[in-house]
């Protein structure tokens, strides 16, 4: 049972962060290599709230959204928007994204060292313990948060005028612009939301693994895998991709490390990527690109006897 809960909590982290990664990919058509660091910023915001204010890490969820969202927004306005306006190619934008990642990760290292010195407590490799006075486990909170955020995001993107405009602006900027949508603002909002979701996912990481400035970077490949698996153009495909990646990694190594295979846990990260490659060979447009209804009809027609 514990392994299932661990798999679920890991998947929640991947799902929340990969939704944001997909959103930024759709807006500028580049993978944001700095997205993992936005997750780490969320984790450090939670640490600051617990150490400096003495509050529960859950109280940091809104603050983590704001902190990581603001950094994402700043990177959009200071780096990507000026480059995009100058007609930079996808390669140039990608290199800018890698550079931003290195700057953010270095800044996190400097911040961790500075806080370690000033507070005389170690700001690396930190873990959050379950609060004895808190009625819910972090698995419950992270699951509820993921469900709540996904529901709110869905309602916002599909049932509000501004949300639909945001989808329109990221899909077809020139048409959106021609009908009066401020595409620049819509992109900025997308980056704010994407960064914010990464920040929220970061709050839950220290509950299950020691966290330091490298944590988000180490998780980035899993986020990419979830986005690609879900179908890079579909925000909600990342949910499906995230749960496949998260569950397969945790449950996969649990099953493979036991008898009779006894696979070393060092191979753990290879499991979701093996599944990613295999699934992409079967469905090149990702899981959300599969026409499930047609597939089901075909399977049923083969299974059921002909009348």
Among 165, 228, 232, 275, binds another protein (CB under 8 A): 165
* For another protein, the closer CB: 109 or 167: 167
Helices (H), 160-291: 161-171, 173-178, 183-204, 215-230, 237-257, 270-282
Q: Which is nearer to another protein, 71 or 235 (CB)?
A: 235
Q: Are 235 and 254 in contact (CB under 8 A)?
A: no
Residues with Cβ < 8 Å from 303, sequence gap 6 or more?
A: none
Per CB under 8 A, 90 contacts another protein? no
Q: Which of 44, 51, 68 is nearest to 211 (CA)?
A: 44
Please identify which residue in 7, 16, 49, 181 interacts with another protein, judged by CB under 8 A. Answer: 181
Residue 264 backbone dihedrals phi, psi, to 5 degrees: -65, 145
Kindly write out the interface string for residues 118-157 of this chain, putting x where it contacts another protein by CB under 8 A and - elsewhere.
----------------------------------------
Phi/psi region, residue 120 (left: phi>0; alpha: psi -120 to 50; beta: rest), is: left
- 74 phi/psi in degrees, rounded to 5: -65, -40
Question: Hey, which residues between 219 and 248 contact another protein (CB under 8 A)?
Answer: 233
**Cβ nearer to another protein, comparing 73 with 176:** 176
Distance from C-alpha of 261 to C-alpha of 201, rounded to nearest angstrom:
33
CA dist 134 and 65 (Å) reads 22
- Work out which of 70, 137, 140, 177 binds another protein, going by CB under 8 A: 177
CB of 236 to another protein, least distance (A): 11
Among 182, 270, 274, 298, which residue sits at the site for another protein (rule: CB under 8 A)? 182
Q: Which residues of 275-287 are buried (b: 16+ CB within 10 A; e: fewer)?
A: bbeebeeebeebb
Instruction: Provide the minimum distance between the beta carbon of 292 and another protein in the complex, in angstroms, as a whole number.
Output: 15
Told to check if 178 binds another protein by CB under 8 A, we report yes
Note whether 47 binds another protein by CB under 8 A. Answer: no
Q: Which stretch binds another protein (CB under 8 A): 40-48, 75-83, 101-109, 162-170?
A: 162-170
Contact call for residue 160 and another protein (CB under 8 A): no
**Which residues sit at the interface with another protein, rule CB under 8 A?**
87, 161, 164-165, 167-168, 171-172, 174-183, 233
């Amino acid at each position: 049972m514990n392994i299932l809960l661990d798999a679920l909590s890991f998947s929640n982290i991947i799902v929340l962060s990969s939704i944001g990664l997909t959103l930024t990919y759709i807006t500028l058509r580049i993978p944001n290599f700095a997205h993992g660091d936005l997750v780490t910023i969320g984790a450090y915001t939670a640490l600051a709230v617990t150490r400096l204010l003495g509050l529960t890490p859950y109280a940091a969820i809104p603050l983590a959204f704001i902190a990581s969202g603001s950094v994402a927004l700043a990177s959009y306005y200071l780096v990507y928007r000026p480059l995009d306006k100058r007609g930079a190619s996808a390669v140039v934008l990608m290199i800018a994204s890698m550079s931003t990642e290195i700057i953010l990760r270095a800044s996190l290292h400097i911040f961790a060292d500075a806080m370690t010195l000033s507070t005389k407590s170690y700001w690396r490799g930190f873990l959050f313990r379950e609060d004895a006075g808190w009625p819910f486990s972090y698995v419950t909170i992270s699951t509820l948060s993921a469900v709540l955020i996904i529901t709110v995001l869905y309602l916002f993107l599909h049932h509000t005028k501004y949300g639909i405009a945001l989808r329109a602006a990221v899909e077809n900027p020139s048409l959106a612009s021609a009908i009066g949508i401020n595409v620049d603002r819509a992109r900025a909002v997308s980056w704010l939301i994407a960064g914010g979701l990464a920040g929220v996912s970061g709050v839950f990481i220290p509950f299950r693994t020691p966290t330091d400035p490298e944590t988000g970077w180490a998780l980035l490949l899993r986020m990419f895998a979830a986005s690609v698996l879900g179908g890079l153009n579909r925000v909600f495909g990342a949910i499906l991709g995230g749960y496949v990646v998260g569950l397969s990694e945790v449950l996969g190594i649990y099953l493979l490390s036991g008898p009779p295979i006894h696979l070393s846990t060092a191979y753990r990260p290879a499991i979701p990527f093996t599944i990613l490659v295999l699934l992409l060979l079967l469905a090149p447009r990702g899981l959300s690109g599969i026409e499930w209804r047609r597939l089901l009809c075909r399977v049923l027609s083969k299974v059921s006897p002909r009348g």
